[in-house]
Amino acid sequence: MAIEQNEQYNFITTFLEEAEDAALALDESDKPKGMLHGVPVSLKDFFTVKGYDTTLGMARYVDSPWAEDCVVVKVLKYQGAIPFMKTNIPQTNLHFDCSNPIFGRTLNPWSKQRTPGGSSGGEAAAIAAGSSIVGMGSDIGGSIRIPAHFCGICGIKPTVGRISKKGLHMFKGENLLAASMGPMGRDVDSVATMMKALLVPYMFELDPMTPPLTFNTEEYESNRPLKIGFYLEDDWSVPIPACNRAVELAVATLKSQGHEVVPYSPTRAQEMYLDYYMRFCMADGGQELLKSLEDEPVFDPTIKGQVSVLKLPKILRTTLAILLKPMMPLLSRMILCLNGFRSIKDMNEKKCDIQEWQLKILQDWERLGLDAVVCPVAPCVAVLNGYPAKCLGALSYTAYYNLADFPAGVVPVTTVTAEDDQNLKSYYNYDVLWMKNMKMGCVDAIGLPVGVQCVTKPWHEELCLRVMRDVENGLKKD
């Protein structure tokens, strides 16, 4: 089935040839069965498997098989899982589309004219197409959550470090803004089962840098009433009608199950996205990104735009930003962020600001008595192919919780209706280029899935999954 579906949607990078033999060996083994005994698991290409390439969508890493499985793969095999294929990612693995010069473009199973999102787009497409039950993705700005939202599946971004990163193919020196590994699946229980199977002593032995926190089943299965905050808009973007309606549906179903749901406002969302998240992504002015693309065909349209600006001398980028400021002030700020930090002192001051901001969020939650927050995943649904390059500002809802380092998961809630599509026509036309592009990328989206984002305090992934499960189960009853 995966091969047939791949011909339509192009989500596979590599089949793992030993998968069938591994499954047969499990059946014949007398060893105790693991939590994932015989379960086929797909892996984002980012995860390293012994004997196979991990390309990051770049030609320089082709024909460079890895000598060892990463810790996540070792634990999955220990639990009896059968890793059977690796899935597609965008070039450099750093944005929310899914195309590269090696494997081409992955298409969304809900509509071939739409992106599946990224960077875990191949993984989301494989699960949405029915070719995989569960899989593993990674997330540094929404790379699990946006594809889950665009493809109508579930996924969770844990607190950084909850799941081991040891042995992965990553850009060196990543610590200012770190990626998180997390499972993706067709339903919440599948995602929770993957978390439970990974958070075991064997993983902590393989990677002593991972905190030894096993899965808290009591918290996941608890029925105690919760106090949950919600919001529709941050102060950076306004979601299209379908995304607002999805949050309203989630709020209604949570209330129907006895939870108290109250309005909540995120703290300094625009400032954190523009002046902190984007600046930390380009802390060195994009030099490491440009270096990684030397002698590479720059294939993906999102990367092409970034590279064109990054190749400009810093003085020209700054001049361009100044010239654009009167007409497009937000675009001007985005371009200035590509310059990175002025000095080590500047960077350290920003790091201190982030720590104070994280503390302020926690204080706000404590003051309001919040257990969780529900909000949009993005201000859009799956946009037309090519449009992620035109609406890079659409990451504010997800990137906020990467910067804060709160666990955040996605659960599908509804699909775009004819009324949503009609209401999009009167969607407020902000004088912001990326939002105008986003609106154009969302036209004629009837039937596409719409999810919501559920967020909890750091290291409380089980509670996050519990809120996701309550949304999922409540909608089944309605």
| pLDDT per position as a tens digit, 315-367 | 999 998 999 898 888 888 888 888 989 898 999 999 999 999 999 999 999 99
Query: Which residue, among 409, 370, 355, 345, has the nearest Cα to 147 in the 3D structure?
Result: 409
Which CATH number does the domain housing residue 240 bear? 3.90.1300.10
| Element (DSSP H or E) covering residue 92 | none
CA–CA separation, 231 vs 263, rounded Å? 6
In this predicted structure, the answer to whether residue 478 has a pLDDT above a threshold of 80 is no
Residue 172: its pLDDT value, please?
63
Residues 94-118, mean pLDDT to the nearest whole number:
96
Q: Is residue 316 part of a domain?
A: yes
**What is the rounded radius of gyration, in angstroms, for the C-alpha atoms of the chain?**
21
pLDDT band at 173 (very low <50, low <70, confident <90, very high): low
DSSP 8-state class, residue 34: P
Q: Are residues 188 and 211 in the same domain?
A: yes
Domain of residue 317: give its range: 269-343
Q: Are residues 283 and 338 in the same domain?
A: yes
pLDDT, tens only, 392-428: 889 999 999 999 999 999 999 999 999 999 999 988 7
Domain stops at, among 309, 343, 377 = 343
CB 67 within 8 A of CB 52: no
Residues of the chain above pLDDT 70, percent: 98
Q: Is residue 275 part of a domain?
A: yes
Q: Are residues 279 and 214 in the same domain?
A: no
Residue 429: its pLDDT value, please?
63
Residue 431: its pLDDT value, please?
72
Query: Which residue, among 269, 260, 248, 264, has the nearest Cα to 414 in the 3D structure?
Result: 248
Average pLDDT, the chain: 94
Q: Is residue 50 part of a domain?
A: yes
Residues 86-104, mean pLDDT to the nearest whole number:
95
Residue type, 361: I
**Could you count the other beta carbons within 10 Å of the beta carbon of residue 249?**
18
Residue 329: its pLDDT value, please?
85
More confident residue, 1 or 198: 198
Q: Is residue 235 part of a domain?
A: yes
pLDDT band at 192 (very low <50, low <70, confident <90, very high): very high
Q: Is residue 192 part of a domain?
A: yes
Looking at the structure of the chain, the number of domains it has is 2
Q: Is residue 109 part of a domain?
A: yes
Q: Are residues 3 and 131 in the same domain?
A: yes
Active-site residues, by number, are 44, 119, 143
Residues 424-441, mean pLDDT to the nearest whole number:
86
Distances in Å between the Cα of 224 and the Cα atoms of 85, 141, 464, 467 are 39, 31, 14, 11
CA–CA separation, 1 vs 230, rounded Å? 40
Q: Are residues 371 and 410 in the same domain?
A: yes
Residue 269: its pLDDT value, please?
93
pLDDT band at 176 (very low <50, low <70, confident <90, very high): low
More confident residue, 342 or 145: 145
pLDDT, tens only, 272-302: 998 899 988 888 888 888 998 998 998 888 8
